[in-house]
Amino acid sequence: MINERQLKEQMCEIGRRLYAKGFAAANDGNITVRLNEREILCTPTMVSKGFLKCEDICKVDYNGKQLAGTKKRTSEVLLHLSVYKTRPDVNAVVHCHPPHATAFAVAHEPIPKCVLPEVEVFLGEVAMAVYETPGGQKFADTILPYTKDCNTIILANHGTVSYGPDVEKAYWNTEIVDAYCKILILARQLGRVNHFTPEQTRELLDLKKRLGYQDPRLDMDNCDLCSNNLVGRGYTQFAPEAAAFKREDACACGTKAAENGQAPEAKDMEKLVGLVTEQVMAALAAGSV
């Protein structure tokens, strides 16, 4: 069993990592850990995460009321509570502003899927929540549609929130999503981003299931595996559309799927054959005049 002091030490360590990685400039970001069924440990407001001490850590109840601590608790603790109240398996939440992932948040660019194996297995769905002024209950409610299906959420025009069974794994999700966004940006600068086929994605999801991870796509058809599922299935009215990372094939079952190793659908092949036939007949007619 990890005692309260050890949990506070872990929070301070994660704070140092956030600051060192440039994920939390100045006094940005906040960290919480579920202590028990009544209490949650949280970082204080207006204190740099890179210089946290155990005595700085506050304690709040599940309504956000401060129970202990010499410094005032973070104003964004309600965001963390939205996770804890809907995910009993989660014991830690990290919110910060990793620059590459936050660039996607500012651009309202959905995080593409079916690109990197590690992201498919360890992150899966990464939703984007609509913007609200930070700190209040409306802000905290923006992530509620996604908490059950995700372990990492992009906050539009703001940053990220990630969570897991302990504070280190919650932090790992933040690190993974920012590294992924950086790779995507670099790949786009080189010219293009290549995607997995639905079959390759299904293999990764099967591996994910064997490892004990859940994913809402496990019961979906192949054609939907690489689409923006959380948007397409109508979770909210906020539905950001891809621009910089728009897939040319749209759906891996579409007409351009052959570029990723998929055969076109029969009806698309018929259209193609008809078009070619018309062009050939036109050329023959022109040559016979």
State phi, psi for 64 to the nearest 5 degrees: 90, 0
Q: Which amino acid is at 43?
A: T
In this prediction, residue 269 carries a pLDDT of: 47
In this prediction, residue 234 carries a pLDDT of: 54
Beta bridge partners of 153: 127, 161
Measure the CA–CA gap between 153 and 95, rounded to whole angstroms. 10
Query: Is pLDDT of 283 > 70?
Result: no
In this prediction, residue 107 carries a pLDDT of: 97
Q: What is the average pLDDT across 101-123? A: 95
Task: Read off the pLDDT of residues 35-84 as tens digits, 9 standing for 90 and up.
Answer: 999 999 999 999 999 999 999 999 999 999 999 999 999 999 999 999 99
Q: Are strands 126-129 and 152-155 parallel, antiparallel or unpaired?
A: parallel
Measure the CA–CA gap between 86 and 144, rounded to whole angstroms. 8
Task: Read off the pLDDT of residues 2-47 as tens digits, 9 standing for 90 and up.
Answer: 899 999 999 999 999 999 999 999 999 999 999 999 999 999 999 9
> What pTM, to 2 d.p., does this model score?
0.84
Q: Decide: helix, strand or coil at residue 5.
A: helix
